[in-house]
Structure 1
């Protein structure tokens, strides 16, 4: 009878296979699993509601997507390109380095930029392309390289600086896990040892971004 509790997995597989409504499938799977486990419907609904309320902040990210689309359709990208094209001696690598510094500083302050959607695509990537195309016309391959470098720079900043904030979820998780295993690792210690990694990451990335610029020099 214990295997009946896995009925939720079967419902999800069948629902996705027949391309049914995702939310309806997940809720149906949760209800079925709860009922075969001996829970009442009010109890199952209470658990679902509590889970949603405890994790509702995660879904706030999606609210930014329509806003980014609206401002981009009203000329955000073109305004960024026009502004960059008027600045002399500004290269794609310098833009990436500036963004990386901002990324690490904001992470240290506990401010999550969610860079790929909100910054890289609508701002950093077109700004870098505009800076690189001041002296020469970019080829399709060079455009793709700039896109990839912009995304990589954001990933470097996010990965190596996400533990600079003492109250971040990653820092607290590592601290509690190490404590449960009998090791002393306070959040402050984790942040302290994360600072050198963030600095080294910035220096190495800045060096590679400088070398990246050389292929766009006339």
Structure 2
């Protein structure tokens, strides 16, 4: 059980808001050393995982594609689309994306969205356009808030949705470890089934936060509009 001390490094690192890649890397090395692996074996394990995982080098393909799409007006088209959807507010847009992202992850389509593939070029610009249509120009604080909520919709949807798919890596890892360590017969379908209530709760809780975002933006916009008047009165 001492190898689980690496989890404490992850918790402490994220609480201190350090670089996630650095945190996970240090935690992995620390855990491997606690498990009795030498430095060369640790380095070999990292190299083998990097070479065998296609997702690690997938950015070499996706980033140029996203860059070309943005250069040729992907964000502008996303904003224009929101101009035609007058009844769709910012909170409703992000809540819909949350549900789509979670349902996609629950059926194994984890690459359907993502911060680089969907949030930055499409979802965030659409959310900004929806807000500007209702409340006028955005302040820097409001723009950053929108982008963070757009990213959170993607992250929450993926995190809680993927465990509902019985062939995802985390489910297979848990069942393999539990069956080998405790000599049980836990099936992936059992874990996936019990992940559904958590996914539903995550959708309800975070969906409510996204819908409440509309009122928060309206309040901040009203406060920003009254500031010049108050300064002029002084």
Report the TM-score, using the length of structure 1 for normalisation: 0.73
Question: What stretches of structure 2 of length at least 5 have no aligned partner?
Answer: 1-39, 223-234
Q: Give the equivalent residue in structure 2 for 1:3.
A: none
Q: Give the equivalent residue in structure 2 for 1:29.
A: none
Question: What stretches of structure 1 of length at least 5 have no aligned partner?
Answer: 1-32, 35-43
RMSD: 2.3
- Provide closer, same or farther for how the CA distance between residues 142 and 172 of structure 1 changes in structure 2, counting only shifts above 3 A: same
Q: Give the equivalent residue in structure 1 for 2:161.
A: 161
Q: Give the equivalent residue in structure 1 for 2:84.
A: 86
Matched residues, number: 175
- Provide closer, same or farther for how the CA distance between residues 214 and 190 of structure 1 changes in structure 2, counting only shifts above 3 A: same
Q: Give the equivalent residue in structure 2 for 1:140.
A: 140
The answer to whether the 8 A contact 2:50-2:56 is kept is no
SS at match of 1:166: coil
In 1, the alpha carbon distance for the partners of 2:144 and 2:131 equals 12
Q: Give the equivalent residue in structure 2 for 1:100.
A: 98
- Provide closer, same or farther for how the CA distance between residues 176 and 74 of structure 1 changes in structure 2, counting only shifts above 3 A: same
In 2, the alpha carbon distance for the partners of 1:173 and 1:154 equals 23
- Provide closer, same or farther for how the CA distance between residues 57 and 216 of structure 1 changes in structure 2, counting only shifts above 3 A: closer
Q: Give the equivalent residue in structure 2 for 1:196.
A: 197
Q: Give the equivalent residue in structure 1 for 2:213.
A: 212
In 2, the alpha carbon distance for the partners of 1:135 and 1:118 equals 27
- Provide closer, same or farther for how the CA distance between residues 163 and 213 of structure 1 changes in structure 2, counting only shifts above 3 A: same
Runs of 4+ residues deviating >2 angstroms? 47-58, 215-218
Q: Give the equivalent residue in structure 2 for 1:14.
A: none
SS at match of 2:88: coil
How far apart are residue 185 of structure 1 and its match? 2.3
Q: Give the equivalent residue in structure 2 for 1:26.
A: none
- Corresponding position: 1:151 with 2:151: yes
Report the TM-score, using the length of structure 2 for normalisation: 0.68
